[in-house]
Chains A and B, each alone.
Chain A
Amino acid sequence: MLTVVQNILSFIILVLVQVLALNNIQFLGFINPYIYILFILSLPVKLPHWVTLLLAFVLGLTIDAFSNTMGMHAFATVLAAFSRNGIIKLFTSIEEGSNPVPSFYTFGVGAYIKYVVFMVLLHHTTLFLLEAFSFANIWLIIFKIILSSFVTILLILGIRSFNRK
């Protein structure tokens, strides 16, 4: 029950921070970090897969509604949520019967960083390619993907390192 309330709160806070603050950040002209993905990153590992997907869809659609980008965030977030279990299995070995929330302490520092980097890169690559919807400006897009992912990863790791336990 407590985790449910916590997750609802973090959903609302992340959406508000993303929409009201981060979407207005114009660092170096065109970097836009998308930290709302942290909500999907921090769901318990053993949460049923379909729940993760639906949550990701709702989260993506909410962000879409606020930023006039019909479906783009929903697509990228659902894709990230779908790949999450695979990426977790790739980097960690979770014991049978335990259901940890991904963090530096449960995954180990190295594994958690790898997990965040992979998820954020996957999400941002999908998102920026969808946004451009062509390969005409491919170098500009790659540049945007790398810079924005870098900032998002730093922000997420920063936020998570404050969460004790």
Chain B
Amino acid sequence: MRNLINFLIQYSVVILFLVLEVISFTLIVNNQDYQKSVFLSSSNSVISGMYEMSNSVVEFFKLRDANENLSEENTALKNEIISLRNQLSTLQPEKTDSLLFRIPPEMEYEFISAKVINNSTNKLQNYITLNKGLRDGIKVDMGVIGDEGVVGIIKTVSDKFSVVIPVLNDKIKINCKFKKNNYSGPLQWTGMDYRYAELKDIARHVEFSLGDSLITSGFTNTFPEGIPVGTIENFNIKESEAYYNIKVKLAVNFRTLSHVKVINYKNYNEQRILEKAAEE
């Protein structure tokens, strides 16, 4: 017994060291755990509050660009409204009772606008914090887009804030396809440059050229079809391989990201339950 106590006293520092390292390591490994990550992450209100303060200073310098983008988007949207109105007036609206009981396809999606209050682009796993949360209707797994295209997917939500896994994180793959011929494959970030990502699983026989646009495929529940992802910057294929190596220039500039929209797909639950039931 005395030997044991002596041993403990003699090696107390080493034991403390080991205990602390084990705690840290457990934290790293349990990173996926939702509750813990909300407790100690930038969804935490103190930390988010501080980021919001620092962001209010930085944002001032980005106002000009943001305004320009907004006005461009405004005009594009107005044009769209006019053309849609013209289309609508030529179509005779259907009026059956069954229509009232479902959400019509053109109203399946709703956008929640949010502001980026913390953002990084230089790590292997980057995250973005937004200033909207549960009480604004944001839920886990919703898609996030900017004015130019796809940004990422909501990972955790607290009452007032939410954290997004952006395209610039090697943990997520976004399914996208060529606009012109519908061949699809997963897009993943390489960890090198915040402007480029890699498109995989495009087979040798597919025809495409530099500058072709990529859009979301609509096969997942998070993004509707047709949101721009990027353009082909460069590609090559080795003699022995069946798949292309494609370098994609991302549509969104993550360094200057300040305002985003979160996509609320209203039929999400129904579709997911149906798909799960089919798998069982």
- The answer to the question of A36 belonging to the interface, with a C-beta cut-off of 8 Å to chain B, is no
| Chain A residues, CB < 8 A from B163 | 68
> Max chain B CB contacts within 10 Å: which of A19, A30, A68, A140?
A68
A50 to B12, Cβ gap below 8 A? yes
A33 CB, min distance to chain B CBs, angstroms: 11
B20 contacts which chain A residues (CB < 8 A)? 53-54, 56-57, 74, 78
Whether B123 contacts A70 by the Cβ 8 Å rule is no
Smallest distance from the beta carbon of A163 to chain B beta carbons, Å?
A: 27
- Cα-based distance from A71 to B17 in the complex (angstroms): 14
A133 to B120, CA, bound (A): 19
Q: Are A20 and B54 in contact (CB under 8 A)?
A: yes
Q: Are B25 and A140 in contact (CB under 8 A)?
A: no
Q: Are A65 and B13 in contact (CB under 8 A)?
A: no
The tally of CB-CB contacts under 8 A between chains A and B is 96
Chain A nearest CB, measured from B237 CB (Å):
21
Scan A21-40; emit 1 where CB is below 8 A from any B CB, else 0: 00111100111100000000
* Contact partners of A32 in chain B: CB under 8 A: 122-123
Which residues of B, 26-50, contact A by the 8 Å Cβ criterion?
Answer: 26-28, 30-31, 36-37, 40-42, 44, 47, 50
**Chain B contacts of A78 at CB under 8 A?**
17, 20-21, 24
Contact for A53 among B16, B40, B41, B47, CB less than 8 A: B16
* Chain B positions 79-138 with a Cβ under 8 Å from a chain A Cβ: 120-125, 127
Whether B193 pairs with A75 at a CB distance below 8 angstroms is: no
For A30, the chain B residues whose CB sits under 8 A away are 122-123, 191-193
Nearest CB in chain B: distance from A136 CB, A: 9
**A102 CB–B CB distance under 8 Å:** no
Q: How far is the CB of A111 from chain B (nearest CB, A)?
A: 24
> Which B residues contact A (CB, under 8 angstroms)?
12-13, 16-17, 20-21, 23-28, 30-31, 36-37, 40-42, 44, 47, 50, 54, 120-125, 127, 163, 191-194, 255
The residues of A with any CB-CB pair to B shorter than 8 Å are 19-20, 23-26, 29-32, 49-50, 53-54, 56-57, 60-61, 64-72, 74-75, 78-79, 82, 130-133, 137, 140
Name the 8 nearest CB pairs between A and B, nearest first.
A71-B27, A75-B24, A74-B24, A71-B28, A71-B24, A49-B13, A70-B27, A68-B127
